[in-house]
């Protein structure tokens, strides 16, 4: 496959390593300094774009891919208020758009486990629930997209929970996300249920970026011959 890396920071470099190890060709490595190179590419040159850039540039990056008819896999978080617009554009243009808050296979298993546990805990009103996320100090958005996905899974399955809040004491209808930025932590996510007599928690701790990068490359391989809007549930279902 011919792949463009749209965003060439630390994650982009790990994705490049994984893609090359799987026999793919990197057509271009695009960052803020050479964006014009991407503007010159067409769907004939590229099988898929993997976009890990910045919350402020992700919307235009993904939109450009959709308009060019190039399948795009995006992992940038912090811009999701505009995502429905791009999903509609994808369907209008007959293009392909794959987004996930986290491409790690382990994290996506964690998402499913989180929902299962929430269903079990729903009748147990003696427990309060919260989620914690810890990332490296270079991460631009807070809370993480992964933490938001976890909180949405809780809201979906716990009666009375209507919204999430970040780093604030929650009301009864809110799910608290506690966000921290520390050193070089690749990503830690914890869901806790606490009562007066005990505590239950599930945890996912990434040891590096390789798991995220591998999932993104697999998504690019999977989406290259498809049209539509997709996520990790679609990929894992196959």
Catalytic residues: 135, 139
Antiparallel, parallel or unpaired: β 2-6 and 25-30: parallel
Q: How far apart are CA 105 and CA 217, in angstroms?
A: 12
For residue 205, report the phi and psi dihedrals to the nearest 5 degrees: -130, 115
> Any long-range contacts for 27-36 (C-beta under 8 Å, 24+ apart)?
27/2, 27/3, 28/4, 29/4, 29/5, 30/4, 30/5, 30/6, 31/7, 32/57
10 Å CB burial of residue 154 (0-12, 13-18, 19+) is buried
Tokens of 142: 């807070």
Tokens of 230: 């997709």
Coil, strand or helix at 49: strand
Distances (CA, A) of 232 to 89, 212, 219: 20, 12, 8
């Amino acid at each position: 496959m011919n792949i463009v890396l749209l965003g060439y920071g630390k994650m982009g470099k790990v994705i490049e390593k994984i893609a090359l190890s799987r026999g793919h060709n990197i057509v271009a490595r695009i960052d803020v300094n050479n964006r014009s190179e991407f503007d010159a590419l067409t769907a004939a040159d590229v099988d898929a774009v993997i976009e890990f850039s910045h919350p402020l540039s992700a919307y235009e990056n993904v939109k450009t891919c959709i308009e060019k008819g190039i399948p795009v896999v995006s992992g940038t978080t912090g811009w999701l208020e505009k995502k429905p617009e791009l999903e509609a554009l994808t369907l209008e243009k007959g293009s392909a758009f794959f987004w996930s808050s986290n491409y790690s296979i382990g994290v996506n298993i964690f998402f499913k486990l989180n929902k299962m546990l929430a269903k079990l805990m729903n009748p147990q009103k003696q427990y309060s629930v919260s989620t914690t996320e810890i990332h490296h100090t270079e991460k631009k958005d807070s809370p993480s997209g992964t933490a938001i996905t976890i909180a949405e899974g809780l809201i979906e399955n716990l009666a009375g929970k209507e919204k999430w809040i970040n780093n604030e004491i929650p009301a009864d209808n809110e799910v608290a996300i506690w966000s921290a930025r520390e050193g070089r932590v690749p990503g830690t996510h914890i869901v806790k249920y606490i009562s007066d007599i005990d505590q239950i928690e599930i945890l996912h701790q990434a040891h590096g970026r390789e798991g995220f990068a591998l999932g993104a490359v697999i998504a690019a391989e999977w989406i290259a011959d498809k049209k539509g809007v997709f996520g990790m549930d679609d990929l894992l279902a196959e």
